[in-house]
Structure 1
Amino acid sequence: MKADLRLDLKRTALLVVDLQEDQRSDPLCVADNLDQVLANAAQLLEAARAHGVAVFHAAFVRDFDTRPPRPFEPRADDGGPAFSAKGSPLVAICPEVAPLADEVVIHKNDASAFEEGSLDGRLKALDVEWLVIAGVWTEACIAASVRDAMAAGFRVLLVKDACTSGTPAMHQTGMLNIANRLYGGAIGDTGRAVALLRGAPANVWRNTFPVPFRFRLTNVETMYDSL
């Protein structure tokens, strides 16, 4: 259902996940519609910075010295990480959404932005209630970050058009799967999220009961558009 929401900006943070150069140039990582997602994420950053909202960035940097290879994890021919390897220039955050000097950048070795271990404590130290999330990939790193945020007690505002995946279908089904269990959270587009980050109210989608979207291949797009 749609409902009006207003955020307490003193208890709100923005998390931008994995908007890195490999998402537009590494064949294993290329994300769909990335230019638009970067533009939308940049709008979120601008609004957050202008209104004193804490900003966090997460970047996937696979480092076998920090986290040894997992069973069955894909590897490159040299035995190193298959993608997003530590030291690669492609792990750099895209300049369109580059962190400012005083913004926290978390380097993670797994899907969730909470994997590195410090994000939970950093957010709680700021008394954050709402965590606004944008980035890639919807069904992977975004879904894992949302799940861990909820488990840690944060409400999540997921910005649907500031996220993406490998294809539109992957993104849309991923977003609907998250929505089905986004208890206590909300989903809105960039325009609504920007309004919220400026302290204004906005009408967003809220989850009121489990699994509201029993989607089929024939109606995924329609249901996604209703978010």
Structure 2
Amino acid sequence: MNTDRAFLVIDMQQENGFQLHDLHRVIDNTAALINALRHAGIPVIYTRHINAVDGSDLPPGEPLDAAGRPLSYCAGTCQVAIMECLAPRLGDRVIDKPRYSAFHRTDLDQQLRELGVSRLIVSGVLTDACVLATVMDAFALGYRVDLIADACTSTTEAAHNAALLIMANWVYALELFSTAQFLKRLVGEPHQSCRPTEPDQFAHRPEQFVATIARLQTMLGLPRRNQE
């Protein structure tokens, strides 16, 4: 088994409390990545965000319902189950986490080091919350990260892209791919990606946001999209 890399699938759960942009595309891309990486012998690790039913141990201000239960990712409900079409198989690992980062109060770092993993392939939701926090912590802990941009999403395309720019600007151990380009790389074919080479590489003024995203999409081999 190839154990210098692992695929981390972040929070692809049945949570239905909010709409996610272009989720069907993200599901399809994630499924393609899972199949290819399993075939390549690369471990697949899923995370599940789970909040205690009684609302205990939540960060300050976490939204609650009238009964004091968490509004999202509530333990014991279908919200926390991984989507059936992406369900783990025998041999896959599942990490349950109480906060955005998959490293916070979990044994993910220990499991990765026991596997000999030094590079994480990352996809999932939400780009501007759990994905962002996990990538930042992975960087701080010394991992290299391959982030699959079109296998991540958030509530809006703008939020998704803003998070991509933050990571591209400041996570120096990061390489960004589209799904198609990453799958080419996996089998040794010519491919393109975005590897940050300097701090604040995608610095921009507010009115330049759409043009800056278009520049990143071009580097990733993705079609340019109109931003929300």
TM-score by length of 1: 0.88
Q: CA offsets per residue over residues 165-218 of structure 1, 9 Å max, x none?
A: 111111111111111112122001001222334455633211111110013334
Shift in Å, 1:30: 2.0
Partner of 2:63: 74
Q: CA offsets per residue over residues 5-31 of structure 1, 9 Å max, x none?
A: xxx943111000011111xx32xx321
Which amino acid counterpart does residue 178 of structure 1 have in structure 2?
Answer: M
Which amino acid counterpart does residue 213 of structure 2 have in structure 1?
Answer: E
CA distance in 1, matches of 2:72, 2:55: 16
Q: Structure 1: which 5+ residue stretches go unaligned?
A: 1-7
Partner of 1:202: 191
Q: Quick check: 1:155–1:184 contact (8 Å CA) kept in 2? A: yes
Which amino acid counterpart does residue 139 of structure 1 have in structure 2?
Answer: D
* Residues 1:175 and 2:168 are matched in the alignment: no
Q: Quick check: 1:74–1:82 contact (8 Å CA) kept in 2? A: yes
Q: Quick check: 1:107–1:116 contact (8 Å CA) kept in 2? A: no
Which amino acid counterpart does residue 145 of structure 2 have in structure 1?
Answer: V
CA distance in 1, matches of 2:168, 2:105: 25
* Residues 1:217 and 2:202 are matched in the alignment: no
Which amino acid counterpart does residue 223 of structure 1 have in structure 2?
Answer: R
* Residues 1:15 and 2:4 are matched in the alignment: no
Partner of 1:88: 77
CA distance in 2, matches of 1:129, 1:64: 35
CA distance in 1, matches of 2:210, 2:149: 20
- Taking structure 1 as reference, are residues 199 and 45 closer, same or farther at Cα in structure 2, changes over 3 Å only? farther
- Taking structure 1 as reference, are residues 80 and 126 closer, same or farther at Cα in structure 2, changes over 3 Å only? same
- More strand per residue: 1 or 2? 1
Q: Which 4+ runs in 1 deviate beyond 3 A?
A: 64-67, 196-202
| Secondary structure, counterpart of 2:7 in structure 1 | strand
Which amino acid counterpart does residue 85 of structure 2 have in structure 1?
Answer: E
Partner of 2:177: 188
Q: Which of structures 1 and 2 has the larger relative contact order (alpha carbons within 8 angstroms, sep 6+)?
A: 1
CA distance in 2, matches of 1:170, 1:176: 10
| Secondary structure, counterpart of 1:153 in structure 2 | coil
- Taking structure 1 as reference, are residues 45 and 199 closer, same or farther at Cα in structure 2, changes over 3 Å only? farther
| Secondary structure, counterpart of 2:192 in structure 1 | strand
- Taking structure 1 as reference, are residues 200 and 67 closer, same or farther at Cα in structure 2, changes over 3 Å only? farther
- Taking structure 1 as reference, are residues 129 and 66 closer, same or farther at Cα in structure 2, changes over 3 Å only? farther
Aligned-residue sequence identity (percent) comes to 34
CA distance in 2, matches of 1:56, 1:179: 23
Q: Quick check: 2:202–2:212 contact (8 Å CA) kept in 1? A: no
* Residues 1:117 and 2:106 are matched in the alignment: yes
CA distance in 2, matches of 1:69, 1:129: 31
* Residues 1:155 and 2:155 are matched in the alignment: no
